[in-house]
Amino acid sequence: MLEIKQNDDAFFIGEDYTSRIATLVFKIEDQVMSLTETEVDESLRGQGVAGKLVDHAVDYARKNGFKIKPVCSYTVMRLNKAEYKDIVI
């Protein structure tokens, strides 16, 4: 299983941020986590990696009392489900 790591503005998979192979970029302001960019290396596409990053962000937001604002097209599509109504603005 691929380990999801975090820095100040992204969840990512890779040894470190500079060698990442999947990324979900976010910005937190006023208790709102905006998900602004999702990128997955071709070698991982079709394996649900982007979805795992989004699920990780949702868990993180719920644990920290944040709401989520999906911005990039993937997160808008992914979070447009009833199970996320409690957290998505």
Residues 8-46 have pLDDT tens digits of 999 999 999 999 999 999 999 999 999 999 999 999 999
Residue with tokens 């500079």: 18
What's the pTM value of the predicted model, to 2 decimals? 0.93
Average pLDDT for 36-57: 96
* d(C-alpha 66, C-alpha 47), whole Å: 27
What pLDDT shows up at residue 1? 61
In the chain, domain spans: 5-84
Say whether domain 5-84 belongs to CATH 3.30.70.3270.
no
pLDDT at site 2: 80
List of long-range contacts for 37-44, beta carbons under 8 Å, 24+ apart: 37/71, 37/72, 38/72, 38/74, 38/75, 44/2, 44/13
